[in-house]
Structure 1
């Protein structure tokens, strides 16, 4: 199927196409006031900060982000947004000192909140550190202190909670920013992503005018790329995937939003038109591999988020990199830092999603009413039995953890303990996603009731796996799908309370989709109905 022939919310003439940039929130006076930057000084405000800007540990430090509200344009004092002084010099507080500090020091500190817990990240002013490899920065960043704050916030916080294992190879804080600083549309999307997250993390209103300004050129550019006869670039595909991801995590943040399913459908059609996302061989592009993994996660978990969603792409369209010194089988059972589970697991979850969708089309009507007497045919049962065995085998078969860890180098005792804890977490996350797949298989394909002993056993095992994941760490933020899957089927009040408590902790990280999933889970408990009949487009992972 050609991507140009796919139904698209971005085609000229559709109502969504006219409204999609979200500018309906902007006041008439603001729109008539000229370009977005007119309210700011024409010269970079960093000219005044030259005496404070310094290079340290491969980064440029531009000043400090104090976590102040963004009053939105044109009201916010953008030029004064970055404080050039050290925390001790600019704030009289016994909790601040002249000692060198970075947010990573809050990670699992016994005396303070972890960096990823609500209130932990901005417990002290955050130094704005931009890696030298990203410089020289485009004017989009160098001429706007607020943009620089949001760019740094994405690098240092948002990108870290979007993956279960924030290792040095995290592509969201390395690969993506390197591409974004060379592509204005991708950079605008990254900034919008960060602004939504920062506002929700701090319980501030989102800067709607600023976000709308960033996005108003993204949609026309995407429409143009899709309608062009030229080959569709990686940047265009990345735009579609980023739009889908943003809507998954912070839905309805614009007056007129396009559902994540439609953005994901555009990305899916682009991939099909290109013959897939495959990156093998010595000359492979690591960015293509990153896109394949990002899309695959959204595609598979999105499909599992409701039977009306599209089935995930077949495995023949996707392939991921692997080390030359390991067999394909070994790589399949290596935990992927971006997924949080093995490549074998993502393929198995995709098969669960296809079967669940096939069964859901027969057992659930358009109003969400479920036929509790429906049973799958022999062919589906045969596939489900085989899949159950493979999930059970894969769950216990882990070749190794993160391929980027430094377990072979000499480390101090603290670093070694950190490595051990991270490996434990990765095993727990991998375990929980396999168990979630088994829960979906038993409930949505075998059609067992929630009270079934096998389902309740898997619920208990998910809770046991969760106990191996630190509270407030990056791994916890990636566990919505298994927590939701187990929580909806939990019948023991103590199990429900334990899962609800962990979900509320993750909710405090500033991601709207966690709140929406929690509300759906609690509605399922209150009504006694399956979440499948109640879901209204929520992204559940």
Structure 2
């Protein structure tokens, strides 16, 4: 499939300046810092053959460039790309979806979701994510023996689970239907090792979803001590995946493998931190909680401050920041967030601003309770 005609004046202008592929590549390698070349090349080649996916990625690239250059005047380019992506996606969905590249359609919605998160448009994010979830649960992708579908599900799950660790979004990879979709999407792929899209073991994905679910239950029913047994079961499962090793193609071993091991460890310690604080309700000064925070900080320190691998660590960084009163620890975390913010990651901008507000408030409330009372909605992906 090829572009029938120049899709818009916006496309013509951007083509006159530089290669579309180069523009998209710069953004995708930042959003997916440790992803395999196979995934990135397939995403770009699919976009060049699928107008609505191309528009969605161009919208992301334009937004990303403007976030990196904060002084650059805002115009309607990204909005026009987004509108074209949505219009093309709706047109495809209105016909027989099986004849219109279902994986690429879902990828378009995922690209829009991710840009929504970085731009702070969380209402639109939830609409787009719900659409992807519907596609995954409908069996639309079952007939496709395409590795691209595997990447799609992992991209969706990483974003959905990150959102589910907050109080404002219910992620459900642990539900029966999502489990079925999960098995279909990952058919033939290995779940061993650290995943290069998520930054942690796929075995940890459903556990993180359950941690978020349990934390919300505990928030709603703080006197319900029966929930503690669920927490103990999850803690045992988390411990079981602690030592998962990174598995990467031979030509890509080295620094990426080390960074994948590190990001996985960071999420393991973050899962434990959320259990200890939000489920067991231990105070932030408790030795167990302090050990969780220090363990997260150790993983952060082991990643170069300018490495894009830090992009995968937003939840661990934010979680540790919420649970420490130590000035030196806060300074380290704020520095990392500032560097990622300068790379155009708008999700770091909002998380950093929220964290600074939390610190300035000197509240005794746990961070999730404070966020709920302040009406702050975050998706930390």
TM-score bracket for this pair, using the shorter chain length: 0.7 to 0.9
Query: Among 197, 210, 217, which residue is 1:338 paired with?
Result: 197
Alignment map for 1:450-461 (pairs within 5 Å):
450-461=284-295
Contact 2:24 2:57 in 1 (8 A): no
1:478–1:149 distance in 2 versus 1, CA, 3 Å: farther
Contact 2:139 2:181 in 1 (8 A): no
1:92-112: per-residue Cα shift (whole Å, max 9, x none)?
Answer: xxxxxxxxxxxxxxxxxxxxx
> SS where residue 254 of structure 2 aligns?
helix
1:151–1:359 distance in 2 versus 1, CA, 3 Å: farther
Alignment map for 1:166-245 (pairs within 5 Å):
166-169=35-38, 171=39, 173-205=40-72, 207-225=74-92, 233-245=102-114
Asked if residue 540 in structure 1 is aligned to residue 361 in structure 2, the reply is no
Contact 1:137 1:181 in 2 (8 A): no
Asked if residue 487 in structure 1 is aligned to residue 347 in structure 2, the reply is no
In 2, Cα distance between the equivalents of 1:154 and 1:458? 39
Contact 2:3 2:51 in 1 (8 A): no
Q: Which residue of 2 aligns with 1:423?
A: 257
1:448–1:144 distance in 2 versus 1, CA, 3 Å: same
Q: Which residue of 2 aligns with 1:438?
A: 272
Structure 1: unaligned runs, 5 residues or longer: 1-133, 325-330, 363-373, 408-418
- Report the Cα offset of residue 375 of structure 1: 3.4
Query: Among 202, 207, 210, which residue is 1:348 paired with?
Result: 207
Alignment map for 1:93-492 (pairs within 5 Å):
139=6, 144=12, 146-147=14-15, 149=18, 151-169=20-38, 171=39, 173-205=40-72, 207-225=74-92, 233-252=102-121, 258-274=123-139, 284-304=145-165, 306-314=166-174, 315-319=179-183, 321=186, 331-362=190-221, 374-378=222-226, 380-396=227-243, 398=244, 400-406=245-251, 419-492=253-326
Structure 2: unaligned runs, 5 residues or longer: none
> SS where residue 395 of structure 1 aligns?
coil
In 2, Cα distance between the equivalents of 1:430 and 1:394? 9
In 2, Cα distance between the equivalents of 1:404 and 1:140? 37
In 2, Cα distance between the equivalents of 1:193 and 1:298? 16
TM-score w.r.t. structure 2 length?
0.86
1:179–1:348 distance in 2 versus 1, CA, 3 Å: same
Contact 1:161 1:478 in 2 (8 A): no
1:90-139: per-residue Cα shift (whole Å, max 9, x none)?
Answer: xxxxxxxxxxxxxxxxxxxxxxxxxxxxxxxxxxxxxxxxxxxx999984
Contact 1:472 1:505 in 2 (8 A): yes
- Report the Cα offset of residue 261 of structure 1: 1.9
TM-score w.r.t. structure 1 length?
0.62
The structure where helix makes up a greater share of residues is 2
> SS where residue 510 of structure 1 aligns?
coil
Count of residues paired in the alignment:
366
1:234–1:323 distance in 2 versus 1, CA, 3 Å: closer
In 2, Cα distance between the equivalents of 1:322 and 1:336? 15
1:269–1:135 distance in 2 versus 1, CA, 3 Å: closer
1:421-473: per-residue Cα shift (whole Å, max 9, x none)?
Answer: 33222111110011111111122222222222111111101111112212222
